[in-house]
Structure 1
Amino acid sequence: MVKNCTVPQKPDKKVEDFFMQKYTYELKKEIIFDY
């Protein structure tokens, strides 16, 4: 988590979806590299 990045209390859906996509993408990448 980036410390100096200020996150709003309630991120709007678009931003939330974007981060979820990014996160799941990174996760998949990790899984692919694991095997």
Structure 2
Amino acid sequence: MIIDYYYSPDEIEEGDITEKIPTAAVVEEMKKDNSIF
């Protein structure tokens, strides 16, 4: 997955991020970011 530039691996492993941010929302953000490039 390409989320290293959003959060550090430690934060991801803790699982707090996934609880606060639904996967679908993250995917939508990634789509928006990709459209910019």
- The number of aligned residues is 27
**TM superposition score normalised by structure 1:** 0.51
Runs of 4+ aligned residues of structure 1 deviating over 6 Å after TM superposition are none
RMSD: 2.3
Gaps of 5+ in 2: none
- Superposition TM-score, scaled by structure 2 size: 0.49
Q: 1:6 aligns with which of 11, 19, 26?
A: 11
Unaligned runs of 5+ in 1: 31-35
Larger RCO (CA within 8 A; separation ≥ 6): 2
State how 1:1-35 maps to structure 2 within 5 Å.
1=4, 2-3=7-8, 6-7=11-12, 8=15, 11=18, 15-30=22-37
